[in-house]
Each structure stands twice: as C-alpha cells, then as structure tokens.
Amino acid sequence: MKKSLIILFVLSLMLATACKKEKKDVEVETETEENVTNTESADTSRAEATDKIVVLLDSKSGSTAKGNVVFRQRSNTVSMTAVFSGLEEGTHAVHLHEKSDCSSDDGSSAGGHWNPTAQPHGEWGDEAGYHKGDIGNFTINANGTGTITFFTDEWCIGCSDDAKDIIGKSVIVHQGTDDFKSQPSGAAGSRVSCGGIIQ
Ligand SMILES: [Cu+2]
Ligand SMILES: [Zn+2]
C-alpha cells in the first residue's frame, strides 16, 4: 500500500512537469509566430511607400494654378490621379517634362517634354509617335478645378529602365491646350504649374 502510494506520487509529479514543459513550448511558438507576422507587415508597408509618389505642383508664370498628383505602380501599370485648382475654365495641357527642377519662375528649368525614345510630339498612343511625357489635356470647370486620371504600362516608378522611369521628371500644367501637332510641344502656351517627381 505504501509502495503504490509512492509510485502514484512520482507519477503525478512527472505528469505535472510534463504539462508545464508543454505549456512553455506552446508559448514560445506563439511568440515566434507573432514576430514573423510583424516582420511581414513592415515589409509590405515599405514596398507600398516606394510604389507611390505624391507630387505637389507650385504656381508658375504669375498664375494661381496648383495641383496634387499621385503616381502609383501596381505590377506593370502606373496610374496618375491629379487634382488641379486655381486655373482658368477650359482645357489645359499636362505633360511630364525631362527635369524635376521647378526652380525658375516660368517653369523653363524643367526642360522640354520627357522624350527618352526620341519621338515627335503627339497624342498619346498615336502611331506617328508621341513623347513618354505627352499625357494630354484635361478640363477645368467654372470653379477653377479639374481632375485627370491616366494609366499606362509605358512608365515605371524607380525601375532600371531609363525609357520608363518617371523619377527625376516633372509634371507641368500649361495655360493653353495641346494641339497634338505643333512641334516640339503642342503649342500649349506658358507653364502655369510645376512639380518635380522626386522620391
Ligand atoms: Cu508641357
Ligand atoms: Zn510632347
């Protein structure tokens, strides 16, 4: 009777130790899983940050024109969503120009249209050719505001292809309309707003 009691005591002790150990193992596993999850979410937010650029446009040539342009890349497509204000009612041209330098009062420091493929100026998608910066025209309403949304797989954000990478270029809004014919810039008039595309 005494012997069996001792055996029972030893058995229950072993069981208690085993339970404790198991519980500890589970706790460690949970902690590791949490760490992995945290690392993954941090990586995702970093990737999103480099694939999206917000460009604020400053008024140029004595105008009151301003703009907010968001470029975002998803797989092979770059989208551009722009909101403009302080412009005269009617149609205005918007292009990507070759330099991100908007320091001059008339926006001339941004250089000509971004044209890495040495094409004539034209309407986007035209068989006769067009610049990679030839976005086109958008409409401004009576309140002086307007928007444009544009998608293309011919741009990228920060890739190694100089014919596609929009980093280091600028967004320019013009006083007038792009006629898609006149060389080298569509006779769109003065540069009323400018913002550099900088990461
Ligand atoms: Cu232009
Ligand atoms: Zn052009």
Q: Where are the domains of the chain?
A: 1-49, 52-196
The pTM is what? 0.75
What is the structure's pLDDT at 61?
A: 98
Q: How close is the Cα of 52 to the center of ligand 1, in Å?
A: 22
Q: Quick one: pLDDT at residue 4? A: 53
Domain 52-196 has CATH 1.10.150.570: no
CA 94 to centroid of ligand 1, rounded, Å = 6
75 CA from centroid of ligand 1 (Å): 27
Distance CA 14, CA 32 (A): 28
CA 46, CA 61: separation in Å to the nearest integer?
37
Taking all residues of the chain, what is their mean pLDDT, rounded to a whole number? Answer: 84
> Closest ligand to 108 CA?
1
| Contact yes or no for 122/132 (Cβ under 8 A) | no
**What is the total residue count of the chain?**
199
pLDDT of 29 reads 41
Rounded Cα distance, 149 and 144, in Å: 17
- The rounded average pLDDT for each run of 10 residues, N- to C-terminus, in the chain (199 residues) is 47 46 42 41 45 97 98 97 98 98 98 98 97 98 98 96 97 98 97 96
pLDDT given at position 26: 39
What's the gap in Å between 114 CA and the centre of ligand 1? 9
What confidence score (pLDDT) does residue 199 get? 86
Give pLDDT, residue 175. 98
Of 188, 186, 169, 190, nearest to 62 by C-alpha is 190
* 98-134 residue pLDDT tens: 999 999 999 999 999 999 999 999 999 999 999 999 9
